[in-house]
Amino acid sequence: MSGATVLLVLFAALLHASWNALVKAGPDKLLSTVLVASGGAVLAALALPFLALPAPASWPWLIASACCHLAYYRLLAAAYAHGDMSHAYPLMRGSAPLLVALASAALVGEVLSLRQYGAIALICAGVLAMSLWRAAGATSPSRRATLFALLNAAVIACYTLVDGIGVRRSGAPLAYTLWLFALSAAVLLVSVMGERQALLAYAGRYWKTGLLGGFVSMASYGLALWAMTAAPVAVIAALRETSILFSALIASVFLRERLGVRRLCAVGMIAGGAVAMRFA
């Protein structure tokens, strides 16, 4: 990968951790997630009339990804409702790259080198260690938070592979990304129609957070999808998981969650994996 691609993926990782923190900080995790998804859809809708449609070959993958994202958003909200961001986020983002790496060879035809697999393993080991090593004085992680986070890791691996294929077949990475956000938000909104009065009241209070989170989320995933057109899907998926570095800082400074020395050591493992990925 070029240095520019690495920097863009790392910036996407920072953006991803940031919008997750907005969801975690909200009083209602599910409704905050819906607002962020809807905010991204509103911004996407403003740009879609000026873009050509993605190639027809990518539309089945778009629809499949929108369904995966419905599960992703619901599980994300559930994980944050039952546990700290510093616990759930590493499990969700750290388990997914290994699953992607194992599946991409068979589904996408990408064969990684031993050094690339070593870098992926180092990143995964670091983020998983962060989730298992809790700071002194911190409460024990919730079993429900762990379960929801691990289930979401499988969903993340699924939509990463689906979108890695879809964006390459689209011929238009930007249009594919915007349509994905629009369709995903539409499916999610349909799923919460039973709570529409609560959602409207919540949106009236936190609509600015929704628009900000939507923009950040869309920019983060758009950069990652573009990178997948220039480098192997599994490599981008693993490098993007360095967002845990940023999430650790955000959780500690802004959400007042405890980390501790051992988790900081795990951060070092992640950083080492990112550097190894650059030179693999």
Residue 279 has pLDDT above 70, yes or no: no
Report pTM. 0.84
* More confident site: 52 or 279: 52
Tens of pLDDT, residues 159-216: 988 998 898 899 998 899 899 999 999 999 999 999 989 999 999 999 999 999 999 9
Q: Please state the rounded mean pLDDT for residues 150-166.
A: 90
pLDDT of residue 263: 73
Cβ atoms < 10 Å from Cβ of 171: 15
Maximum alpha-carbon separation in the chain: 54
In 3D space, the residue among 71, 32, 27, 80 whose CA is nearest the CA of residue 214 turns out to be: 32
Distance CA(191)–CA(69), nearest Å, equals: 12
C-beta contacts of 43-51 below 8 A and 24+ residues apart: 43/181, 43/211, 43/214, 43/215, 43/218, 44/177, 44/178, 44/179, 44/181, 44/182, 44/218, 45/182, 47/178, 48/175, 48/178, 48/179, 48/182, 51/172, 51/174, 51/175, 51/178
pLDDT of residue 74: 97
The domain spans of the chain are 3-279
Q: Please state the rounded mean pLDDT for residues 110-132.
A: 79
Tens of pLDDT, residues 59-99: 999 999 999 999 999 999 999 999 888 888 888 887 777 77
Distance CA(63)–CA(201), nearest Å, equals: 30
Distance CA(42)–CA(219), nearest Å, equals: 13
**Whole-number mean pLDDT of the chain?**
86
Look at residue 28 and give its three-state secondary structure. Answer: coil
Q: Please state the rounded mean pLDDT for residues 250-261.
A: 83
Tens of pLDDT, residues 11-23: 999 999 999 999 9
